[in-house]
């Protein structure tokens, strides 16, 4: 549908989202002012309202832009695991869940840290912002929970739900702390990311079965 007309996306709208994403990640929604956004994005204040309508809609646009490719890849990996009606292992399911968030955007090292921190902080936002994030990932979350239920049929749905919740918590924590002194993810080299995913899966899998 879209043609590649330039190597770098310097469109005003995308530029605003990129800066807002980073500031939301660092300071949260309420702690970020539109004036800071336009200052760093080098655009006019009125442009924000022209393109997005409001600060909250800008937040929604930022969430959608970074969430969609991740959810897409999560569901693709999950479908791949279930080809031919197979029931995947817990390890395979968790790997499919964690990989897109941590690896997908690793092409750009700076971007990965921004995105991971943005996602980490998104889950801590108060309503109605949290719902924006939750809704965007809802389809993927339900699909993973369904597959987990089939991999562990003798566990109750409610038990699987809160354990799954802790997996998400671990993912968010790893993302939030990325780059800090004693964090699991120290650098964004593809090899280091894959190693981190592997260690995370080893940490979490036994608990899912306990």
Partner DNA sequence: GTCTATAATTCGATAGAC
Partner DNA sequence: GTCTATCGAATTATAGAC
Residue 50 interacts, among a copy of itself, DNA, none and using kind-specific CB cut-offs from 5 to 8 Å, with DNA
The interface region with a copy of itself, picked from 1-9, 23-31, 45-53, 62-70 by CB under 8 A, is: 23-31
Q: Is 14 in the site for DNA (CB under 7 A)?
A: no
Q: Does 177 bind a copy of itself (CB under 8 A)?
A: yes
CA atoms within a 13 Å half-sphere pointing along the CA-CB vector of 138: 7
Cβ proximity to DNA: between 51 and 64 the closer is: 51
Which residues fall within 8 angstroms of residue 104, CB to CB, at 6 or more apart?
69, 70, 73
Contact 120, 175 (CB under 8 A): yes
Where residue 42 falls (left for φ over 0; alpha for ψ -120 to 50; beta otherwise) is: left
Which of DNA, a copy of itself, none is residue 128 near (CB under 5 to 8 Å by kind)? Answer: none
Question: Are 138 and 68 within 8 A, CB to CB?
Answer: no
Q: Is 203 in the site for a copy of itself (CB under 8 A)?
A: yes
Choose one: 52-60, 101-109, 138-146, 156-164; the region binding DNA (CB under 7 A).
Answer: 52-60
Helix, strand, coil percent content, the chain, rounded in steps of 5? 75, 0, 25
- Contact pick of 5, 84, 182, 191 for a copy of itself (by CB under 8 A): 182
3-state SS class at 22: helix
**CA angle at 23 for the pair 19 and 24, rounded to the nearest 5°:** 115
# binding residues, a copy of itself (CB under 8 A): 36
In the complex, minimum distance from the CB of residue 121 to DNA, in angstroms, rounded to a whole number: 16
Residue 139 touches a copy of itself, criterion: CB under 8 A? no
User: For residue 45, how many other CB atoms are within 10 A of its CB?
Assistant: 12
Q: How far apart are CA 28 and CA 53, in angstroms?
A: 19
Does 43 interact with DNA (rule: CB under 7 A)? yes
Please report whether residue 45 would count as binding DNA according to CB under 7 A: yes
Binding footprint of DNA on the chain (CB under 7 A): 12, 32-36, 43-47, 49-51, 53-56
Binding footprint of a copy of itself on the chain (CB under 8 A): 26-31, 120-121, 123-126, 158, 161-163, 165-166, 168-170, 172-174, 176-177, 182-184, 202-204, 206-208, 210
């Amino acid at each position: 549908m879209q043609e590649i007309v330039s190597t770098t996306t310097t469109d005003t709208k995308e530029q605003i989202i990129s800066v807002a994403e980073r500031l939301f990640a660092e300071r949260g929604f309420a702690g970020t002012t539109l004036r800071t956004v336009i200052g760093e994005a080098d655009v006019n204040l009125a442009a924000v309202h022209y393109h997005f309508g409001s600060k909250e809609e800008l937040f929604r646009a930022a969430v959608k832009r970074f969430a969609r490719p991740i959810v897409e890849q999560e569901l693709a990996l999950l479908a791949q695991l279930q080809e031919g009606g197979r029931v995947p292992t817990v390890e395979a399911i968790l790997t499919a869940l964690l990989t897109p968030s941590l690896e997908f955007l690793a092409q750009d090292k700076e971007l990965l840290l921004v995105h991971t921190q943005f996602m980490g902080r998104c889950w801590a936002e108060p309503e109605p912002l949290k719902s924006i994030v939750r809704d965007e990932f809802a389809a993927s979350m339900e699909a993973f929970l369904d597959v987990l239920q089939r991999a562990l049929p003798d566990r109750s749905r409610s038990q699987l739900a809160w354990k799954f919740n802790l997996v998400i918590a671990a993912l968010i924590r790893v993302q939030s702390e990325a780059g800090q002194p004693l964090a699991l993810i120290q650098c964004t080299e593809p090899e280091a990311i894959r190693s981190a995913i592997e260690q995370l899966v080893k940490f979490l899998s036994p608990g899912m079965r306990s």
